[in-house]
A and B are shown apart, each in its own frame.
Chain A
Amino acid sequence: MPSAPRGGKRVLIVDDDEPYLKVTERLLRSAGYDVVTRTGVLGTSFVVSSVRPDVVLVDLNMPMVNGDRLVPLMMRGRFEPPYISPYVVLYSGVDEKVLKRRALECGADDSIPKGLTPKEFLARVAECVGKAEAARELREGHDG
């Protein structure tokens, strides 16, 4: 299992659609992200606690367990300090309003629609990484 990144930001993607997963992975890598991928949902909490991603992209519609079921299960995991929890983003090709509602309902921090242009997608991920960083700094400020 890879160790936590020092410089670049790390993104974990959970998506059952392998071709889409590979495209997303390569796109994020080309933008300098450290990327870890999972096609199955089993053991995601363990992967999160081991890999310690800054952002987790979770596909909404997957066989066996949907993304909005996975998010609360994943967040129940106990993460070793100083890592607390990742910024969780639900992503899908469903109607954007539906996606936003389901992200809110399951406790995800954000949502990103599939089908954006590469430039738009990277901008949205960068925004999420920025929010994750801000949340982390805020927590550290409180702790310090």
Chain B
Amino acid sequence: MALIDTGFAALLGAHTLDELDREPGSVVGLWPDGRIALLNGAWQRFAEQNQGIDALRRWPIGADLLSGISGVLRDYYTRAFASVREQCQPWEQTYQCHSPLVRRQFRLRALPLEQRALLLVHSTIVEAPFAGSEPDAGSTVAAPDLEEYVGPNGMVRQCSNCRRTQHGTSGSWDWVRSYVTQAPSNVSHGICNTCLRQDYPDLR
């Protein structure tokens, strides 16, 4: 069930709340100052299915959507959203947002509404498990023996797309949390077979 701030429905133009709530991807409406004005049902379902209940509490109606990110990424989205408001033209980009078990690629579309309000519509392009169907699928390693991830040449091999790390002997691509947070100084960035198949299907 969509949540909507008072007065935002009047800015939706040709969109209807019912239609936005039926969208399979998450939809967020923003006031001109970037505060959240609308959250559809898919946004809430996605958060609940991905241990994101905390996100629902931190970003309720009225919260600044970009308050959760900082640095260049915040600047990037601030500029992108400003251009949509100023030029009244949609903007879109694809991005990756993997979980330890699922490889995901999304498209984000920012659509201009009346009075410089915005609609952000996410749609899923790729959603496939890392584990199970992949011959080189690894596992999530919470407290790994990091020495095991050093290859024969002294380097730790990490996929530059999904950030999984290759085990030095078994060759599996594991989700090593500490390496996702901070890559080691001897990291060498390559590409895992899953990302190779997904991103370069014609080049294998």
User: Which A residues are within 8 Å of any B CB, using their own CB?
Assistant: 16-17, 19-20, 23, 26-27, 30, 59, 61-63, 92-94, 96-97, 113-115, 117-118
Contacts and interface: CB of A to CB of B under 8 A. Distances in A.
A17 B199 contact: no
Per DSSP, chain A at the interface is mixed
Contacts, number: 60
Contact of B203 (A16, A26, A92, A93): A26
B131 interface: no
Interface of B: 71-72, 94, 153-155, 157-158, 160-161, 183, 186-191, 196, 199-200, 202-203
A76 B199 CA distance: 37
Contact of A115 (B94, B161, B186): B161
Given A27-B200, A97-B72, A61 B187 contact: yes
A61 B153 CA distance: 12
Contact of B189 (A61, A117, A118): A61
A93 B162 CA distance: 11
B196 A93 contact: no
Given A63-B155, A94-B183, A97-B72, A19 B190 contact: yes
A19 B203 CA distance: 11
A118 B161 CA distance: 12
A64 to B, nearest CB: 9
Contacts of A59: 188-189
